[in-house]
A and B are shown apart, each in its own frame.
Chain A
Amino acid sequence: MTHAIAIDHLFCGYTDQPVLYEVSFSIDPGSFFIIIGPNGSGKTTLLKAMARLMPAEANRFDILGKPAGDYTFRSLARTMAFVPQETRIDFPLTVEEFVLAGRSPYQGILGIPDAGDTEIARQAMVFTGIDHLSSRKLDQLSGGERQRAFIAKAVCQEPRIILLDEPTASLDLAHQTRIMDLMERLKNEKGVTVVMVSHDINLAAMYGDILLLLKDGRVMGKGAPSEILTYQVLEEAYGCMLLVDENPLGKFPRVTPVPDRLKIIH
């Protein structure tokens, strides 16, 4: 089986101060892969290195069995879509124009959409539930709607792999689960490999097939949520006291940070 992404001994960062050291892992196609770790552990850098937004050196860096360097930017854009954390867009752009821009890696030089492109964009907007907002301006959307517009644009690229940088940050609980459910549907219905950076360990525990735990630019562990999310591993990674028990919703771990005044119990 070809891996969606296979990375061996990846170094990344600035020459005097690397951010990632000897990072090696692989991602199975069609899995929900979530990168977790404390602040400054290199999660976003790793995601950007995978999107080829950061120069990186590696013994091996394959995307769908082909060396990443063999892809042109255009062919990579048809294989892999990237959803950044926060992008400020100061220029008036409608949701439909924005989503349709996702077709550009398939289009000619001027990006004139044909009927097929328009239909794919419409389906992407229906899939993320923003089809009723198609003629609204991007800057008139709420945080959750905006994030779904960005995901619709990514879906419109018809990628095999989608990379997301903390898509649930700064969203309320309802929108967080909505985005995560959407990613799960993308994986199940379209077989897309979902790779996500997340701060939220509990969301990662409920949705992730495989978690990758980073600390100080190195891989601390990789495996199913039940293997990675133990208090021994997490307390070492995050350096604080944590309570890990079983989530009453099902068989996945639940992580609760312990406030100072309650530590007396232990």
Chain B
Amino acid sequence: MTKTGASLMSRICLLSLLLSALLVCAGILGMARGSSEWEIGAILKSLVRMDAADPVLTGIIWQIRLPRVLLAALVGASLSAGGLVFQALLRNPLAEPYILGISGGAAVGAIIGILLGLAPFPGVSIAAFAGSGAALLLILFMATGKTILKNESLLLSGVMLNAFCSAIIMFLIAITQDAKIHNIMFWLMGDLSMVGLKQVVILAALVIPCFVVVFRYANILNLILLGREMAQTMGVNMRVAGAVLLGVTSFMVSATVSQCGLLGFVGLVVPHFFRRLIGADHRLLVPACLLGGGAYMVLCDMLARALPAQGEMPVGVITAIIGAPLFIYLLKRPDKK
């Protein structure tokens, strides 16, 4: 069976269409479930024809449910694509978007923001973004310049940076005694509940250009999988490609993390799931992770709201509870492809 360009293009389109449909369905379902439940028909009506629908419902949909679903989709997409890029770039199947210390930096920033009594938005978000930005600068410093760290040492530095940040986080938690602890815990477990449409629009403006860049580098990621030297002798300027991918992906993950806290396992599970399903070609994997990762997060967030009888739990708990066993199952399953 030969795979010509036309069939590759049609596979990319078909996959994107299927997963877009899944994402839309997940979004509608996500809007239907919550502290009060509505018919899907009524939701569609208030989305499309606002004037003809129930004004209360329209208000809730546009101010609470829609921003939240959109946020979940963006977050899922960023983290999944981030994990995919890091796994290829570092040539390590266990890499995840936080591996280089972005999460630690963001968490320290966010907790300092919470302790200073800043508002969740924009105060804590900006503090978290500054923290992850500092981590990102450190990573870029380590990965470029005269003494470039090799993959393994880059990974180890990331682990150390995260460990160092955990120590600071523990210290900050230890000296905190009031209700702020609850806010800190929710942030550390990942939480999508505190957003408005404005925040979602800002996040979209930050991460969607990154999605485009990552897709543009999809074939280069395929070549990087073969090894840095192989990629370079096949026409890839590794210095440029490495810096762009590392920078763009870290930025995208930082922006995401600063909005929603630490959502674990998404960046590990989604890329591996699709790699098992459709193979190692990044021209398919990038759209699959963006759309499929978005849908996965929307569904996890729906469960986080639907499962507890009262209130809701942080969605990070759901992604970890589903993610870890699913990941082990994927590894254990014989490779059919």
Contact = CB atoms under 8 A, between A and B. Distances in A.
A135 B337 CA distance: 10
Interface stretch (B17-25, B157-165, B216-224, B257-265): B216-224
A90 B234 contact: no
Interface string B225-264: 1110110111111000000000000000000000000000
B4 interface: yes
A76 interface: yes
B230 A113 contact: no
Interface residues of A, number: 44
Interface stretch (A5-13, A32-40, A97-105, A187-195): A97-105
Contacts of B335: 92
Interface stretch (B120-128, B276-284, B323-331): B276-284
B233 A77 contact: yes
B227 A93 contact: no
B234 A157 contact: yes
A80 interface: yes
B210 to A, nearest CB: 17
B208 interface: no
B206 to A, nearest CB: 23
A113 B4 CA distance: 6
Contacts, number: 102
Interface residues of B, number: 33
A111 B283 contact: yes
Contacts of B337: 92, 137
A93 B2 contact: no
B8 A112 contact: yes
Contact of A102 (B5, B88, B93, B234): B234
Given A91-B275, A118-B4, A77 B235 contact: yes
Nearest to A107: B219
Given A51-B233, A73-B237, A91-B280, A113 B226 contact: no
A55 to B, nearest CB: 11
Given A81-B233, A84-B229, A110-B216, 15 more contacts: A51-B229, A72-B237, A73-B236, A77-B233, A82-B233, A87-B229, A89-B225, A91-B225, A93-B279, A98-B226, A101-B234, A102-B234, A111-B222, A113-B8, A115-B4
Interface string B203-219: 00000000000001011
Contacts of A74: 235
Given A92-B337, A112-B8, A53 B235 contact: no
B8 A97 contact: no
